[in-house]
Amino acid sequence: MNLLFALPETPSVPVTGEDARFPVRRIFCVGRNYEAHARELGNAVDREAPIWFTKAPAALCHSGATIPYPPATANCHYEMELVAAIGAPAFRVSPEAALDVVLGYACGLDMTRRDLQNAAKAKGYPWDTGKDFENGAVIAPITRAAAFGPIGTQRITLSQNGAMKQDASLAEMIWPLPELIADLSQMYHLAPGDLIYTGTPAGVGAVAPGDVLEGMVEGLEPVRLTIGPAA
Ligand code: MN
């Protein structure tokens, strides 16, 4: 194909113990999926429908990176999340069949320019600038679903400079993963390469240059991120 200019390679994520990497097609994220977190941001908790937003694959950032403190914000937050990696097509799947399309899981950080997100929310505007920015979707290597086992009461935690800030159980999700995939698949033809960030527990907070974040889900490789000076 004759292209006017070259683009960066397709972003991809390592898979633990394998040579081949997981190429990233789309990044879906769900908001307010843990009750205590919804409350801490002053939101009502309901089960009307999951709240979806997206990040571009260009926002992907690998665990272990040092990133510049993001531009245009004075209140950049971490949000520790379980990420599901989709490995098979799914359209209008039932919750019962939904986990069949999950290739694996990873620890991820949904970095958020909270000031921009809050300003957008207040006006009923889209969240894009608050959520979809360079290095805003941090991800650790993917562990195959079979090796991880069923999602149950695994602990999900985040420490900031060694201090525990988020500490919850995957069982606390308002929308369990099968229901998230079933809902998303009503609106999109999910396909291999799609990632789903499944929401964050309570305890989100601001980062500052020099911070070291470490997020863990029992049974997965941890996600680590260092915040450098502003670009
Ligand atoms: Mn989030």
Please tell me the distance from the alpha carbon of residue 151 to that of residue 92, in angstroms, as a whole number: 22
pLDDT tens per residue, range 12-53: 999 999 999 999 999 999 999 998 888 888 887 777 889 999
Contacts of 70 by beta carbon, 8 Å cutoff, 6+ apart: 76, 111, 113, 133, 134, 135, 136, 231
Within-domain flag for 5: no
Ligand 1 centroid – CA 108 distance (Å): 10
CA of 131 to the centre of ligand 1 (A): 9
> Within 10 A of 40 (CB to CB), how many other CB atoms are there?
14
In a domain, 4, yes or no: no
Tell me if 131 is assigned to some domain. Answer: yes
pLDDT of residue 189: 98
HEC assignment per residue over 15-84: ECCCCCCEECCEEEEEECCEHHHHHHCCCCCCCCCCEEEEECHHHEEECCEEEEECCCCCCEEECEEEEE
Residue 44, pLDDT score: 79
Within a domain: 148: yes
Of the pLDDT bands very low, low, confident and very high (cuts 50, 70, 90), residue 231 is: confident
The percent of residues in the chain predicted with pLDDT above 70, rounded, is 100
Residue 82 CA, ligand 1 centroid: distance in Å? 10
Residue whose C-alpha is closest to residue 78's, from 216, 189, 219, 182? 216
Say how many Å lie between the CA of residue 37 and the centre of ligand 1: 10
The larger pLDDT score, comparing residue 162 to residue 49, is at: 162
Question: If you measure from the C-alpha of residue 109 to the centroid of ligand 1, how many angstroms do you get, rounded to a whole number?
Answer: 8
Phi, psi for residue 18 in degrees, rounded to 5: -125, 155
| Residue 67 confidence (pLDDT) | 98
Instruction: With a cut of 90, say whether residue 96 has pLDDT above it.
Output: yes
State in Å: Cα 21 to ligand 1 middle.
24
Least-confidence region, from 36-45, 82-91, 176-185: 36-45
What local confidence, expressed as pLDDT, does residue 168 receive?
Answer: 98
For ligand 1, the distance from its centroid to the CA atom of residue 166, given in whole angstroms, is: 13
pLDDT of the residue at 217: 98
Residue 64 Cα to ligand 1 midpoint, Å, equals 20
pLDDT of 63 reads 98
Q: How far is the CA of 20 from the centre of ligand 1 (A)?
A: 28
Residue 112 Cα to ligand 1 middle (Å):
8
Query: How far is ligand 1, taken at its centre, from the CA of residue 174, in Å?
Result: 13
pLDDT at residue 122, rounded to an integer: 96
At 223, the pLDDT band (50, 70, 90 cuts) reads very high
3 part of a folded domain: no
Residues 6+ apart with CB under 8 A from 19: none
Q: What is the mean pLDDT of residues 102-124?
A: 98
Distance CA 102, CA 105 (A): 8
- Does 6 reside within a domain? no
What is the distance of C-alpha 104 from the center of its chain? 14
In a domain, 168, yes or no: yes
What pLDDT is recorded for position 45?
Answer: 77
Q: What is the 150 CA–ligand 1 centroid distance (Å)?
A: 22
Over residues 96-122, the mean pLDDT reads 98
Question: 13-17, 44-48, 155-159, 161-165: which range is least confident on average?
Answer: 44-48
Measured in Å, residue 110 CA sits from the centre of ligand 1 at 5
Number of domains the chain is built from: 1
pLDDT of res. 46: 73
Is residue 28 one of the residues assigned to a domain? yes
Residue 230 alpha carbon to ligand 1 centre in Å: 22
- Compute the distance from residue 157 Cα to the ligand 1 centre, in Å: 14
CATH of the domain at 79: 3.90.850.10
Q: How does residue 8 score in pLDDT terms, banded at 50, 70 and 90? A: very high
Q: What contacts 186, CB < 8 A, 6 or more positions away?
A: 92
Rounded to an integer, what distance in angstroms lies between the CA atom of residue 100 and that of residue 82? 17
> With contact defined as beta carbons under 8 Å apart, do 62 and 139 qualify?
yes
CA of 114 to the centre of ligand 1 (A): 11
Q: Which of 109, 144, 137 is nearest to 219 (CA)?
A: 144
Domain with 42 in it: 12-230
- Condensed to tens digits (0 to 9), the pLDDT of residues 62-76 reads 999 999 999 999 999
Tokens (6 digits) for 24: 């990233």
CA of 7 to the centre of ligand 1 (A): 28
CA distance 166 to 168: 7
